[in-house]
């Protein structure tokens, strides 16, 4: 049975390896059903809302509520 | 994955070197790695009290647009917006590279983590063997943006696209990052390696990944 893992969304600038591995079946070849979860658009906050000491970040939100197991910081 | 961040100024700017950004407004996407890279580039060129920043959008498209409008003197960009900015005549006054770091929930199994590591290692090797073939991914991310879709793979500086096979985070690097962030008031307390890094899981996953030859 395939293992499953959900990660938070990545983009090429910080996750090109993930995207290529997904598209070329490399996770599947390892028996890993890798799912990429997106934060609902109404929950996405712009960094412009933050301050240096209290930044408004979207990273880790899905993991914090158990909807993703990994994210890239 | 290694991320390239660049401090960029508009074509009409009188700034050519990072120290010339002292007391000038630099837009940073606080809370993201690019913002911290930007802050580190500034810190390397001037005393902290001369660093002047404002909050900018997470989207590099919006930061680039703000730069071109003259909303601020400089901003930090990542690919493909560094390439877009260069094509528009902007200047890079500093560039740096930083690691993307995977943060795992406590329940991740060593087997699944090892499978992830093996797949990523294969992907890194494929991309490094032919980076030009894969730069289309940077364009694909921004399919609704004409500045990006106008790029061709030949426009990209492949030196800015760097990948490294996944490896355990060295404790000293984790400590330096923690202490640097704490010095800016972003984290509180002393670095505790045992609280931040699950070395047992990390070691098991990397050993499992290494046990299978990755071609």
B198 exposure class (CB count in 10 Å sphere: 0-12, 13-18, 19+): middle
Whether B115 and A30 lie within 8 Å, measured CB to CB? yes
Whether B124 and A55 lie within 8 Å, measured CB to CB? no
Residue whose token pair is 């260069």: B86
What DSSP state is assigned to residue B162? B
- For the stretch A26-59, pLDDT in tens is 999 999 999 999 998 888 888 888 888 888 888 8
pLDDT at residue B111 is higher than 70:
yes
A40 CA: distance to closest CA in chain B (Å): 16
B40 close to A (CB below 8 A): no
How distant, in Å, are the alpha carbons of B102, B103, B137, B170 from that of B206? Answer: 14, 15, 28, 14
Which residues 144-173 of chain B have a CB within 8 Å of chain A? 161, 163
* pLDDT tier, A68 (very low <50, low <70, confident <90, very high otherwise): very high
pLDDT recorded at residue A46 = 87
Say whether B48 sits in a helix, a strand or coil.
Answer: helix
B64 exposure class (CB count in 10 Å sphere: 0-12, 13-18, 19+): buried
Among the listed residues B56, B68, B58, the one whose alpha carbon sits nearest the alpha carbon of residue B28: B56
pLDDT recorded at residue A1 = 58
| N residues, chain A | 73
Report the DSSP beta bridge partners of residue A5: A34
Contacts with B102 (C-beta within 8 Å, 6 or more apart), sequence order: A70, A71, A72, A73, B166
Please state the ipTM of this predicted complex.
0.95
């Amino acid at each position: 049975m395939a293992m499953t893992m959900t990660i938070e969304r990545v983009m090429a600038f910080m996750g090109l390896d993930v995207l290529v591995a997904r598209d070329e079946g490399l996770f599947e070849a390892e028996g890993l059903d890798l799912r990429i979860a997106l934060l609902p658009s109404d929950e996405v906050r712009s960094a412009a809302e933050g301050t240096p000491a209290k930044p408004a970040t979207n990273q880790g939100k899905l993991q914090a509520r158990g909807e993703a197991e990994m994210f890239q910081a | 994955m290694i991320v390239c961040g660049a401090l960029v100024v508009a074509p009409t700017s009188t700034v050519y070197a990072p120290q010339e950004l002292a007391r000038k407004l630099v837009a940073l996407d606080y809370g993201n790695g690019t913002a911290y890279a930007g802050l580190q580039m500034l810190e390397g060129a001037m005393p902290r009290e001369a660093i002047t920043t404002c909050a900018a959008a997470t989207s590099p498209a919006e930061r680039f647009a703000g730069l071109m409008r003259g909303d601020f003197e400089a901003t930090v960009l990542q690919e493909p917006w560094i390439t877009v900015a260069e094509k528009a005549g902007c200047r890079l006054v500093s560039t740096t590279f930083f690691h993307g770091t995977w943060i795992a929930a406590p329940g991740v199994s060593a087997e699944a983590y090892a499978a992830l590591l093996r797949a990523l290692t294969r992907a890194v090797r494929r991309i490094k063997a032919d980076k030009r073939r894969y730069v289309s991914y940077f364009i694909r991310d921004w399919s609704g943006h004409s500045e990006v879709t106008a790029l061709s793979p030949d426009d990209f500086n492949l030196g800015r696209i760097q990948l490294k096979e996944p490896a355990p985070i060295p404790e000293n690097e984790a400590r330096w990052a923690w202490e640097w962030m704490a010095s800016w008031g972003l984290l509180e307390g002393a670095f505790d390696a045992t609280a931040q890094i699950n070395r047992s899981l990390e070691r098991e996953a990397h050993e499992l990944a290494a046990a299978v030859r990755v071609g």
